[in-house]
Chains A and B, each alone.
Chain A
Amino acid sequence: MNEGLANSLVGTSIAHDSAAKHVSGSAAYIDDLPEPRALLHGYIFTSPHAHARITALDVEAVKAQPGVAAVLTARDIPGVNDVGPSLPGDPIFADGLVEYCGQSIFAVAANSIVAARKAAMKAMITYEMLTPMLSIDAALAAQSFVLPTRTMQRGDPAAALAASPHRVTGRIEVGGQEHFYLEGQIAMAIPGEDGDMLVHSSTQHPTEVQHLVARALKLPDHSVICETRRMGGAFGGKESQASLIAAVAALLAQKTGRPVKLRLDRDDDIAITGKRHDFRIDYDVGFDATGRILGVDFILASRCGMSPDLSAAINDRAMFHSDNAYFLENVRIVSHRCKTNTVSNTAFRGFGGPQGMMGIEAVMDDIARHLHLDPLAVRRRNFYGKRSRNITPYHQVVEDNVITELVGELARGSGYAARRRAVAAFNRENPWIKRGIALTPVKFGISFTFTQMNQAGALVHVYTDGSVQLNHGGTEMGQGLYVKVAQIVAQVFGIVLDRVKITATTTAKVPNTSPTAASSGTDLNGKAAEAAAITIRRRLAAVAAELFGVPPADIRFEDGQVVGGEKSLPFVDVVRAAYRGRVQLSATGFYRTPKLEYDAANFRGRPFFYFAYGAAVSEVEVDTLTGEYRLQRVDILHDVGKSLNPAIDLGQIEGGFVQGMGWLTSEELWWDATGKLRTHSPSTYKIPTIGDVPNAFHVALWTRGRNHEATVHRSKAVGEPPLMLGISVFHALKDAVAACGDGSVLPQVDAPATPERVLMAIERQRLGNARATLEAAQ
């Protein structure tokens, strides 16, 4: 890429670094890499039962099949049989007990995937069936939890509720979500000398893959390298879930001494790997006649599946976002983390935050309908203040609140008030087709709430031809992290972008990294890479200062030149001078997020460095005879601070919105009564298509955006927050449902709001109308 003047790279819309390769099919994903000689293909045999004891497991017949090189079971693992990311509970191979349908039991390596799969079917396994626990209700009744229940409380919610002039209780069920990254899970393990292992893994967390593979193989961390050039999408689904695939590939490679590729096909991928947690949220809210909340009580219960995985932090984040953008003076949030015999749910863009927000947004909607107010007026009435009413339920002061002005600007720009009137007029005229409109805000906390993870490293080399090689701990999953960080580094040196070579993320270059998650990729790695580049620039400035006879502080790096006073030299000349002068041209960089101080045990302090804000207005049309609907228009205003790359940021916002909309509309996970997930491929699991996106899709970056914290170039994280803009579609649908009633029944819609749920909610509205008519007649 040549575009972008060297000294104005940051803030410029530059294409994704791999865009030309993407469109010509030359961007290599792991399955596209040249295959090493003697490559074997792995296959994981999974449990057909949700809960059963394995009373016998005989794989001798599998071993005897043609083309089979190795078969591994739990007892064949030299190291630890667990790939739990922080807490144990995720066996690589089930050891006597299967706890979900789809759980890995053993693996085969063979000459081809067909041979491996065929052979695996020859295993003799006997199960003793156990009763599966499948639902949140069942788990709550049995007090079956993967982690202890936690409570966050501020003020006196019980007293506030008791004293409130208005009070509403309700429940919303929020479904899970399959990541549906287009590239399925994959790893290729290549054994080296001394038992070393190189693992190409499609992972957001190479360091964790390295550590867990080493532990399974009984090797020190230094003997395993994990490399990730790019993923074909991840969305949280390759944060902890890639480890199993990498570990199985590496174990098979270790056993056979041959390279092994393990690629899950789509059905296996969806069955084996975790998804977004589904939640059941009960609420009890007291408020005044203006809609202002006086006290609120939330009981969150999530289905974590069979193991803790990342559920502690995910459920914490749901609690942290049960306020969304609203001040809750008297609040209690209880969080149950249910253990069920279903796949262990995991990270997914927003990481519990979206589910937490769904609770408070349901509350806002109920208050508005109860008081016959515009839901937007109620939302505004409860927004955080700037100098007062600005403390979160976990006692962090909201210092950067822009929600009132951002929502004001969006409401004006999108013509919200006039359109609400137009919707009402349309609905008066139309008995069968109804319209709905909703504006919902997003405030999302940025930082890993597990404070130690807020660190990053980078490695920058400058070669004597003036070209630069960049490496950092962040991974590229399509979000444009690599190009953003390259822009930052190129700008430090004042050189054009194509002088900076972006290289694959590898644990051999930058160790002990955090996952590329929590929207933190650019904040952390951009800063680390900038620090490394600044270290080298400082050394170069000293060299140039001596050459030019000016103080180092007067040296500038711009347009490929190093300038000092009246003199200048091309960047490469200064680099060569530095080399001759025996000045080091390589540096590491490191960053730790400042200001974080958080007492996790008591939910008290500052878990977040800052907040990202946004808002969306969606308008829908609903067919009240079938429940089908169409999004007609959406307007989004989102705060990315000072954008590093507006095109990339817009892409994150648009894509996040549509993914959030999918979660709450057509994406439905459906398990049968035995605990088998029956929506395990795109023929049954429906993510949005092009037809779900309206032409009127207006997305703008908030021009006044600027991070008030000293993040890299004052930008803000953008990966996750836009997903929650999709909540506006859900509430627009609810608004249309409400339009079918006379206001006597609160509209009740669970997520995802499939046409079926929408129609059933409409039927309840109509029943309410009929009842009211009947009562009036009596």
Chain B
Amino acid sequence: MDKAGRDTIRFLLGHEPRALAGADPTQTVLEYLRGTEGLRGTKEGCAEGDCGACTVVLGTEGPDGVAYKAVNACILFVPALDGKQLITVEHLRGSDGSLHPVQRTMVDLHGSQCGFCTPGFVMSLFALYHAHDCTDGTLDRAEIDRALAGNLCRCTGYRPIIAAAAQACAGPAADAFSVAQGSVLARLAAMRAPEMLTLEFDGRRFYAPTTVDQLADLFTRYPKAVILAGGTDVGLWVTKQHRSLDVVISLEAVAGLSNVEQTDTHLRIGAGASYEAALDVLGAAYPDMGALIRRIGARQVRNRGTIGGNVANGSPIGDTMPALIALGALVVLRQGGEQRSLALEDLYLDYRRTAMQPGEFVERIDVPLPRPGVRFAAYKVSKRPEQDISAVCAGFRLELEDSRVRDIRIGLGGVAATPLRAVSVEAVLKGNAWSEATVRAGMAEMDRAIAPISDMRSTAAYRSVIARNLLHKFFLETTPHAARTRLEVPA
């Protein structure tokens, strides 16, 4: 154990300070709340971050006061609380016992039936209530959906909950938490500790390095360690696969690793940056990229999950890689003191096997900035529009010159053992007129380029048709064409 380390997790539980020494580093916040604290308002519905019944809110130091973020407590490990404020449904009532405005409105508008999902909804509503993008007094349906798509309700059909969100969350926040922001910030600042959080429990170890160098050193020392970013996948290894993680190295505290920066040519997405943190910048550069990220998981997942984790994990159905491959993104890897960068598609060798060496990790992803004339589209096809895993995901990037294809890049997910760049399809298209005939030839090649499987998400046959049709769709969307190709999302 590092001598400089500290072994105590400090945070605020509501407004009460907590100092956990000797914590089990892979205990979930849900277990901690329901067990250690006896706070049983937060529910377990799925233990995999897909239903939102366990939603709690983390308060952190944000640019304008405390930033409140909804997260799934069921797949969040306790060390992630370090230096934060943990707010649960029990903390919302006023000191006089009065209901918080979001609670009151849910009651008034009949937003609960069986009530089991309700605490989770209330916490997502609480985060929305405090969100800075709804201080102008209006809240459109899309914003409500984005805040609540991670909360499943089986009873109400959501209509009264939508109404409650529109009514309770539209105005500026004015509750006990708004009043206490100053003191909370001060208390969070006081908890900030420069030393690395280091835990040892039952022979298992946990490190939260504070610099990239420290991280690189640790991973060199423990190349079999699990790198933990948002934990939206690793959490499930524990809660679903019941695995025991011997050494965990968290990116949570690494300075600079969560940055999203812009250079003259690229967007640099730090490996620790959450989807939500990267969303605005990527969405501004490529609107379809924003739309795609908004359909990854739900807000609770996006508040924790990272593009770096998605990329490093290398699942064939990871949603960001097809688009990033199409955009020509580079992945910057680090091993000890060495750094190298690879075209993203070259990272993936086989099913869940990457080109990363032992002790090597993703430091950041560099996404080229848009250039004039470049067309980009991303598509995600799934059974359910919100919070689902793709059957097929695709990204297309096209450069035309005199109506001919100067360059095209096609990234695909869900059609092979790895995220795939459809090089042979690109080759068929390149240099030819961007026409129906060319695209038909590309569609024919698509079948040879991919090797989809049948599973619970779709048949191989459907995946093949989709891969072909998405190319067709991209063609329609990049040629002068009056007819709509995208569904109207009810507003």
Binding site for B on A (CB under 8 A): 13, 15-16, 18-29, 31-32, 114, 117-118, 179-184, 230-235, 265-267, 429-433, 477-480, 621-623, 625-633, 647-648, 650-651, 654-659, 666, 668, 670, 678-679, 681-684, 686-697, 699, 754-756, 759-760, 763
Contacts and interface: CB of A to CB of B under 8 A. Distances in A.
Given A654-B156, A697-B157, 16 more contacts: A16-B112, A18-B112, A21-B115, A29-B43, A114-B242, A182-B154, A235-B154, A430-B484, A632-B488, A651-B110, A681-B48, A683-B46, A690-B151, A691-B384, A692-B384, A756-B383
Nearest to A181: B154
B348 to A, nearest CB: 22
B114 A232 contact: yes
A672 to B, nearest CB: 8
B388 A681 contact: no
Nearest to A121: B242
B486 A433 contact: yes
B43 to A, nearest CB: 7
28 contacts: A19-B112, A20-B107, A22-B118, A23-B102, A24-B103, A25-B90, A28-B40, A31-B34, A180-B152, A182-B51, A230-B114, A232-B115, A235-B154, A266-B45, A432-B476, A478-B116, A625-B485, A651-B160, A654-B157, A655-B113, A655-B156, A655-B157, A668-B456, A670-B455, A682-B48, A682-B50, A689-B385, A696-B490
A269 to B, nearest CB: 10
B116 A23 contact: no
B487 interface: yes
Interface in B95-154: 99, 102-103, 106-108, 110-119, 122, 141, 144-145, 148-149, 151-154
B234 to A, nearest CB: 15
Interface stretch (B255-263, B272-280, B357-365, B465-473): B465-473
A681 B50 contact: yes
B149 A183 contact: no
Contacts of A656: 157
Nearest to B236: A683
B162 interface: yes
B187 interface: no
Interface string B386-399: 11110100000000
Given A630-B489, A651-B156, A182 B117 contact: yes
A646 B391 CA distance: 41
A692 B388 CA distance: 12
Contacts of B93: 24
Nearest to B150: A689
A435 to B, nearest CB: 10
Contacts of B157: 651, 654-659, 688, 693, 697
Given A24-B90, A478-B155, A626 B381 contact: yes
B177 interface: no
A628 B488 contact: no
A625 B473 contact: yes
Contact of A31 (B40, B240, B242, B491): B40
B237 interface: no
B92 interface: yes
A695 B141 contact: yes
Interface string B159-175: 11110000000000000
A658 B115 contact: no
A682 B490 contact: no
Given A22-B118, A432-B484, A756-B391, A655 B107 contact: no
Contacts of A623: 485-487
Contacts of B155: 233, 478-479, 651, 655
Nearest to A698: B159
Contacts of B391: 755-756
B458 interface: yes
B478 interface: no
A711 B66 CA distance: 55
A477 B155 CA distance: 10
9 closest residue pairs by CB, A with B: A25-B41, A478-B114, A232-B116, A22-B115, A658-B157, A25-B89, A478-B113, A654-B157, A682-B50
A22 B39 CA distance: 14
Q: How large is the interface on B (under 10, 10 to 19, 20 to 34, 35 or more residues)?
A: 35 or more
Contacts of A24: 41, 89-90, 92-93, 99, 103, 119, 122
Nearest to A686: B384
Nearest to B476: A432
Given A180-B154, A182-B43, A695-B490, A754 B383 contact: yes
A479 B386 contact: no
Given A678-B456, A686-B384, A693 B159 contact: yes
Contacts of B484: 430, 432-433
Contacts of B50: 681-683
Nearest to B160: A651
B116 A233 contact: yes
Given A24-B93, A655-B157, A760-B462, A691 B114 contact: no
A766 to B, nearest CB: 11
B53 interface: yes
A378 to B, nearest CB: 29
Contacts of A114: 242
B378 to A, nearest CB: 13
A84 B157 CA distance: 32
A266 B240 CA distance: 10
Nearest to A630: B487
A754 B384 CA distance: 8
A692 B153 CA distance: 12
B88 interface: yes
A684 B116 contact: no
B145 to A, nearest CB: 5
Contact of A666 (B99, B298, B383): B383
Contact of A26 (B41, B108, B379, B455): B41
Interface string B196-209: 00000000000000
Given A24-B41, A25-B41, A626 B152 contact: no
A687 B483 contact: no
B47 interface: yes
A23 B487 contact: no
Given A24-B93, A478-B114, A625-B485, A683 B490 contact: no
